[in-house]
Amino acid sequence: MSRLIFIGPPGSGKGTQAAELSKREKIPHISTGEILRNSVANKTDLGLKAKYYMDQGSLVPDQLVFDLVEERLSQEDAQNGWILDGFPRNSSQAETFQQMLYAKNRDCDYAIFLEVPDAILIERLLLRGRADDTAETIRHRLDVYQEETQPLIDFYGARGKLRRIRGNQPVEKVTQDLQHALTTGH
């Protein structure tokens, strides 16, 4: 059973690694974007509330996101574990999420941090070829990411839950290092 949180900047490969691990472990790979889209598409009560904010172009409030995550984690396919991708995004969300898990006598096993030097991230993101991906905008997004994420890394590190994986290696080597970290706890 694995309950994992994947942390990493855009272009770090966390989606690739989470999808691979999800298949191997037979546990769901869950992103807040997926939760929002599915809840809206299925017209759940929470999905309809989220749609209201999304239709206005507003951010969905944290509490509603927590409710959606809690609802998703209560589904049958998530009972033997899960991989959260990109959530929580900051230490405040992590603290609230931790309280939510404790209230259900649960915890996350590890927060997996895929570390990749900025120069490689910029190169990877520029190769995607998106119109809004210029070196300048990518650098700005990475600065914002670092500002929000460092306290999150500190949060899980202080709890002994953080596992650092070098994400600037071949995909297979990252997968191997990830598997090693999960089996040995190092």
| Residue 53: Cβ within 10 Å count | 14
List, for residues 101-152, the tens digit of each pLDDT value. Answer: 999 999 999 999 999 999 999 999 999 888 878 899 999 989 988 888 889 9
Question: Which amino acid is located at 29 in the chain?
Answer: H
Lowest mean pLDDT among 35-39, 107-111, 152-156: 35-39
Question: Which amino acid is located at 181 in the chain?
Answer: A
Q: Is 37 annotated as a binding residue?
A: yes
Q: How far apart are CA 121 and CA 115, in angstroms?
A: 10
Q: Is 89 annotated as a binding residue?
A: yes
- All residues at 6 or more sequence positions from 153 whose CB lies less than 8 Å from its CB, including other chains: 7, 111, 113, 162
Q: At which residue do the structure tokens 């770090």 appear?
A: 12
Question: Which amino acid is located at 117 in the chain?
Answer: P
Q: Is 88 annotated as a binding residue?
A: yes
Mean pLDDT in residue range 149-168: 95
Q: How is the chain split into domains, by residue range?
A: 3-183
Mean pLDDT in residue range 67-95: 92
DSSP H helices in the chain: 14-25, 32-41, 45-55, 62-73, 91-103, 118-128, 135-158, 171-184
Q: Is 157 annotated as a binding residue?
A: no
* Predicted local distance difference test score (pLDDT) of residue 162: 96
Q: Is 26 annotated as a binding residue?
A: no
Backbone torsion region of residue 106, taken as left when φ is above 0, otherwise alpha when ψ lies between -120 and 50, otherwise beta: beta
Name which of 160, 159, 167 is nearest 6 in CA terms: 167
Domain 3-183 is found in CATH 3.40.47.10: no
* Predicted local distance difference test score (pLDDT) of residue 40: 92
Q: Is 167 annotated as a binding residue?
A: no
Residue 75 has phi, psi (to 5 degrees) of -70, 155
Q: Is 169 annotated as a binding residue?
A: yes
With beta carbons less than 8 A apart as the criterion, state whether 44 and 26 touch: no
Mean pLDDT of the chain: 92
Q: How far apart are CA 48 and CA 43, in angstroms?
A: 6
Q: How far apart are CA 86 and CA 81, in angstroms?
A: 16
Q: Is 128 annotated as a binding residue?
A: yes
Q: Is 60 annotated as a binding residue?
A: yes
List, for residues 1-27, the tens digit of each pLDDT value. Answer: 699 999 999 899 998 999 999 999 999
Mean pLDDT in residue range 158-169: 96
Q: Is 87 annotated as a binding residue?
A: yes
With beta carbons less than 8 A apart as the criterion, state whether 161 and 109 touch: yes
